[in-house]
Chains A and B, each alone.
Chain A
Amino acid sequence: MSINPRSNPIDRTALSVAFTVGLYGAAFGAAGVTAGFSIIQTCLLSLLLFSGASQFAVVGIMGAGGGAISAIATATLLGFRNALYGLQMAPILKVKGIKRILAAQITIDESTAVATLQENDADRKRGFYITGIGVYVFWNLFTFLGALGASAIGDPSVWGLDAAVPAAFCGLIWPRLKNKTQFIVSAAAISWALILTPLTPAGVPIITTVILAIIFGWKK
């Protein structure tokens, strides 16, 4: 497979998503080191866990003095959406053995989002792999650089990185909102999460919105 971002719009989307999301890895690297993780521990999270929201949850909770169990539980809840993405991607990718292990590792928000935007299975596959591998490479590279330069980047707000993440998520939701119901579901999920934020442990306001998806998706 040759990648050609000049002539192929899928490659272009995939690589621009991969690069911008990857850049945010620098903020994660900095966040990890600031939270008391070593550079190796921070980089291992990006290499092995490889799911942004879960990684931030782990360093956030440990940095705030939380225990390993609550960090693992929260990260697992946040990562459950990757299982649902896998369910969505498996019939398209049709891979087994070691290839399935590799495909599973790069099954994240961005790779699935770029795949689902495509019109046919060949394009979905292409979008999934280029985005997934691209994010993996850039995310890990910038995690390492961010961890190294942690003292320089320090406060992510100075660089506007605190707004860049939700903005990136907006960019991923936007193409999914095709009708009025989906807009309503999106607004309901935001409200639900904000109401629960002061009341429940971190992660719960997000994972429990799955209930809204079930309620709204139950009837046609």
Chain B
Amino acid sequence: MSQIWIAVIGASVTAFLNKYFGHSVPEKWLDKPRFKRINTLVPIVLLSALVGVQTFANKKELVIDQRLAGVGVALIALKFKAPFPVVVVSAAITSAAIYNWF
């Protein structure tokens, strides 16, 4: 079996185990206020980290390019309470315009 097949099947299995594990651990885990506070912050830190990495990282290098302009426009759109598709499309248009014309 090729490395790609191993990666496809292996990563699919662990992804499902991750998801199923979360649904199966006892509910009382959530009853602790400390755990609830941490659990509320977990998506915030992971999604924020993803934003940072996807905006600035090029492999292992940090760069400033068209993506930052796109994300900046998205943040402005969010500030003005724009709906989700407007936020994403305005970011894409901004980034594409800079990438294609400069």
Contacts and interface: CB of A to CB of B under 8 A. Distances in A.
A72 B66 contact: no
Contacts of A220: 33, 37
A91 B90 CA distance: 37
Contacts of A207: 46
A83 B45 contact: no
B48 A80 contact: no
B50 A100 contact: no
Give the one of B15, B38, B51, B59 with max A CB within 10 A. Answer: B15
Contacts of B43: 81, 84-85, 109, 112-113, 173, 176
A167 B18 contact: no
Interface in B69-102: 69-71, 73-75, 78, 83-85, 87-97, 99-100
B10 A72 contact: yes
Contact of B45 (A113, A169, A213): A213
Nearest to B53: A193
Given A45-B11, A157-B66, A197-B60, A82 B19 contact: yes
B44 to A, nearest CB: 5
Interface stretch (A119-127, A142-150, A183-191): A183-191
A187 B47 CA distance: 11
Contact of B91 (A61, A81, A91, A164): A164
A139 B15 CA distance: 16
A85 B6 CA distance: 26
Contacts of A90: 22-25, 27
A167 B70 contact: yes
A64 B59 contact: yes
Contact of B84 (A16, A45, A206): A16
A86 B15 CA distance: 12
A166 B22 contact: no
Contacts of A163: 55, 66-67, 69-71, 74, 91-92, 94-96
A92 to B, nearest CB: 10
Contact of A171 (B6, B48, B88): B88
B83 to A, nearest CB: 7
A68 B78 contact: no
Contact of A104 (B16, B39, B41): B16
A41 B84 CA distance: 30
A81 B33 CA distance: 19
A62 interface: yes
A105 B20 CA distance: 8
Contact of B11 (A58, A113, A190): A58
Contacts of A85: 22, 43
Given A68-B3, A171-B84, 19 more contacts: A17-B84, A41-B5, A61-B7, A82-B18, A87-B22, A87-B29, A87-B39, A160-B70, A163-B71, A163-B74, A166-B54, A166-B74, A173-B44, A186-B45, A194-B52, A194-B62, A206-B53, A209-B49, A210-B45
